[in-house]
C-alpha cells in the first residue's frame, strides 16, 4: 500500500480557469490511503464517510468537524461468499440516502455489485445504526440484462417518499469507458422500485456527487476527462432546478494533470454552513491505489446585483447581491479602479444572497465591480455587474412655429446631466444641412440658444418644416421647427 505524499498532491490539485461556479481549493493532507471515497452524511452529533477499499468491502469513518476523520473498525458491507450472488465478484461504489426520520441519519445505502459472471447491478442495504448493514434481496437497477457498466449510485431525497438516483452507465450498453455518461432514475416508494429516466449529462464521466443548494437547486459534481485521456483529471458540475434538466457549468472546478487522476467523489455542506466540501479519490500517476483528499469552496463567489443600472444622481439605492459562499456578516462594496462605495445595512438572506444599500450619487459613470468579503477576510469579485449611468438629456423649444419676417425666433433649451460635447444642427426634411446652432463643450446643466430662420450663409429659409437634431452626453433628440412667412 503506497501512501501519496501531500506535497505532490498540493502541486497537482488546483482550480481551473475562469469559471461560472465557486472555486474549489485543495486542502492539506491525505485522509485515507487505498480508499475510494463514496458518500459523506450527517449522523447523530457527527458525520460519517463511506469508502470502498480493495474493490470488495465498504468501510466507514467518523468526524465531528469534516476535517479530522477516524476510521471505524470492521466493514459495513462486503462481497457475498455465494458465487451466484449479484455482488460475488466485487463492490465498486456506493451512495447513502439520508433519512428524514431515523435517528441514525441513514435510510438506505445503494451499491454497485459485480457478479462472478461480470454482470453489474445497483443493489441496496439498510441499517438501524449506520454501522451494521443488511443487504436487501434482489437488485434495484440493472441495464441491458446486467452487461452495462454501472458506477457511483448517488441518491437525492425528493418530496414525500420520492427519491432520485444519479449514476454513471455506459451509453453503448457494454463496458467502454469512452461511453460512460451520467444517468438518473426515480423512485416513488422510498427507493425500492425504480424507473430509469435516461441520460442527464452527455459528457464523459466516472463518478458523481450531488449537492442540494440552499435555494433547492441541485449541483451535480462529476469527475470527467480531458480529450482522449483514459484518466479523469477534472471535476465538472451541472446545475438543475428540477433534477432532470441539468445545465453544465462551463469550466472545471478542480483539476490535476495526467497521469494523475480524480476519481470517486463525495460532497457535503461544511460545518460553517455557507461553504461546501468535496472529497475526491486521487491517484498520483505512479500508484494505481487511490487516496482520499478534500477541497473546499473557500472564497465568496458573487455573481450579480439587482438592479444592474442606477443613475449617478439617484442617491441611496437598495441592492441585492446574488452569488454563493456568502458568510454571515459579509461585507459588500462596489469598486471601480481605486474608487469604492461600501454597502450599508447588509443583511445576509442566505449563503446565496445578501441585501444592502449603496449611494452612487456623483460617482463615475461606467461599469463597477461588486466585491464580497466574508467574515474571515476572504474576498471574491464579480466584474462589471453595475452600470452607473446618467439621465438622458432634454430639449425644449419655445416658439417652434414662428415668422422670421416679423422678427420671430425659436428659443431652444438643452439640459444635460454630464459635461461633454454638444451639437445642435438644423436640417431640411430631405437631410440637407441648413445651419449649425451650437457645436462645443458644455458643462452639466442647461444651455440655451435661438434660431431666427437664418441659413449658414446668412439668408432666410423658405417656409416649411425643419428638423433640429441635438446630440450630446446621453442625448440624441430630433425636434420639428416650422417656419412660416
Residues 80 and 74: beta-carbon distance below 8 Å: no
Residues 118 and 142: beta-carbon distance below 8 Å: no
Higher pLDDT among residues 485 and 480, named by residue:
480
Helices (H) and strands (E) in the chain, counts: 1, 40
**pTM to 2 decimal places:** 0.85
Distance (Å, rounded) from C-alpha 207 to C-alpha 152? 5
Instruction: Give the pLDDT score at 397.
Output: 96
Question: Could you please report the per-residue DSSP string of 379-413?
Answer: EEEEEEEEEEE-PPPEEEEE-SEE-GGGT--EEEE
Distance (Å, rounded) from C-alpha 461 to C-alpha 469? 17
Q: How confident is the model at residue 10 (pLDDT cuts 50, 70, 90)?
A: very low
* Of 216-220, 225-229, 465-469, the least confident: 225-229
Q: What tens digit of pLDDT does each residue of 110-161 get? A: 999 999 999 999 999 999 888 899 999 999 999 998 999 999 999 999 988 8
pLDDT at 6 over 50: no
pLDDT at 332 over 70: yes
Q: What tens digit of pLDDT does each residue of 370-402 get? A: 999 999 999 999 999 999 999 899 999 999 999
Q: Which three cell numbers stand for residue 404?
A: 422670421
Q: What is the dihedral of CA 49, 63, 232, 140, to 10 degrees?
A: 10
Higher pLDDT among residues 163 and 6, named by residue:
163
Mean pLDDT across 5-17 = 40
Q: How much of the chain exceeds pLDDT 90, in percent?
A: 85
Q: How confident is the model at residue 43 (pLDDT cuts 50, 70, 90)?
A: confident
Instruction: Give the pLDDT score at 45.
Output: 82
Instruction: Give the pLDDT score at 5.
Output: 42
- Name all domains of the chain by residue range, CATH numbers in brackets: 6-296 (2.115.10.20), 301-389 (2.60.40.10), 394-483 (2.60.40.4070)
Instruction: Give the pLDDT score at 240.
Output: 96
Q: What tens digit of pLDDT does each residue of 234-288 get? A: 999 999 999 999 999 988 999 999 999 999 999 999 999 999 999 999 999 888 8
Q: What is the dihedral of CA 250, 239, 235, 146, to 10 degrees?
A: -120
What is residue 228's DSSP assignment? T
Mean pLDDT across 78-89 = 97
pLDDT at 24 over 60: yes
Mean pLDDT, the chain, integer: 92
Mean pLDDT across 308-336 = 96
pLDDT at 454 over 60: yes
Residues 353 and 326: beta-carbon distance below 8 Å: yes
pLDDT at 8 over 90: no
Distance (Å, rounded) from C-alpha 60 to C-alpha 136? 20
Amino acid at each position: 500500500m503506497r501512501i501519496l505524499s501531500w506535497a505532490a498532491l498540493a502541486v497537482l490539485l488546483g482550480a481551473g480557469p475562469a469559471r461560472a461556479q465557486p472555486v474549489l481549493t485543495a486542502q492539506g493532507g491525505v485522509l485515507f490511503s487505498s480508499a475510494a471515497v463514496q458518500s459523506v452524511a450527517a449522523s447523530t452529533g457527527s458525520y460519517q464517510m463511506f469508502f470502498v477499499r480493495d474493490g470488495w468491502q465498504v468501510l466507514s469513518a467518523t468526524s465531528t468537524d469534516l476535517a479530522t476523520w477516524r476510521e471505524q473498525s470492521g466493514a459495513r458491507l462486503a462481497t457475498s461468499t455465494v458465487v451466484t450472488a449479484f455482488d460475488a465478484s466485487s463492490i465498486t461504489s456506493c451512495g447513502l440516502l439520508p433519512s428524514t426520520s431515523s435517528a441514525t441519519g441513514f435510510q438506505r445505502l445503494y451499491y454497485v455489485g459485480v457478479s462472478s459472471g461480470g454482470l453489474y447491478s445497483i443493489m441496496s442495504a439498510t441499517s438501524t445504526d449506520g454501522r451494521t448493514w443488511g443487504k436487501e434481496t434482489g437488485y434495484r437497477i440493472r441495464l441491458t440484462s446486467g452487461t452495462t457498466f454501472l458506477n457511483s449510485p448517488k441518491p437525492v431525497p425528493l418530496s414525500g417518499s420520492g427519491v432520485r438516483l444519479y449514476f454513471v452507465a455506459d451509453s453503448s450498453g457494454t463496458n467502454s469507458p469512452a461511453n460512460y455518461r451520467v444517468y438518473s432514475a426515480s423512485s416513488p416508494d422510498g427507493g425500492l422500485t425504480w424507473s430509469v429516466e435516461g441520460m442527464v449529462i452527455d459528457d464523459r464521466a466516472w463518478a458523481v456527487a450531488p449537492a442540494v443548494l440552499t435555494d433547492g437547486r441541485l449541483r451535480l459534481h462529476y469527475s470527467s476527462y480531458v480529450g482522449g485521456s483514459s484518466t479523469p483529471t477534472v471535476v465538472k458540475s451541472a446545475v438543475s432546478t428540477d433534477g432532470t434538466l441539468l445545465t453544465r457549468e462551463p469550466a472545471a472546478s478542480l483539476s490535476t494533470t495526467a497521469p494523475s487522476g480524480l476519481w470517486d467523489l463525495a460532497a457535503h455542506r461544511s460545518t460553517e454552513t455557507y461553504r461546501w466540501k468535496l472529497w475526491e479519490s486521487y491517484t498520483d500517476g505512479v500508484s494505481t491505489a487511490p487516496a482520499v483528499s478534500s477541497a473546499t469552496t473557500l472564497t465568496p463567489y458573487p455573481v450579480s446585483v439587482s438592479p444592474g443600472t442606477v443613475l449617478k444622481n439617484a442617491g441611496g439605492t437598495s441592492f441585492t447581491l446574488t452569488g454563493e459562499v456568502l458568510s454571515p456578516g459579509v461585507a459588500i462594496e462596489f469598486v471601480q479602479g481605486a474608487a469604492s462605495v461600501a454597502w450599508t445595512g447588509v443583511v445576509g438572506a442566505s449563503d446565496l444572497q445578501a441585501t444592502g444599500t449603496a449611494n452612487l450619487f456623483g460617482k463615475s459613470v461606467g461599469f463597477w465591480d461588486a466585491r464580497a468579503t466574508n467574515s474571515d477576510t476572504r474576498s471574491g469579485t464579480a466584474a462589471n455587474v453595475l452600470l452607473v449611468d446618467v439621465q438622458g438629456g432634454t430639449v425644449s423649444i419655445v416658439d417652434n412655429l414662428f415668422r422670421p419676417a416679423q422678427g420671430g425666433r425659436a428659443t431652444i433649451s438643452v439640459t444635460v446631466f454630464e459635461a461633454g460635447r454638444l451639437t445642435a444642427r438644423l436640417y431640411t426634411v430631405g437631410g440637407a444641412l441648413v445651419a449649425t446652432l451650437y457645436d462645443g463643450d458644455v458643462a452639466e446643466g442647461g444651455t440655451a440658444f435661438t434660431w431666427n430662420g437664418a441659413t449658414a450663409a446668412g439668408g432666410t429659409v423658405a417656409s416649411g418644416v425643419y428638423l433640429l437634431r441635438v446630440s450630446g452626453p446621453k442625448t440624441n433628440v430630433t425636434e420639428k421647427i416650422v417656419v412660416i412667412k
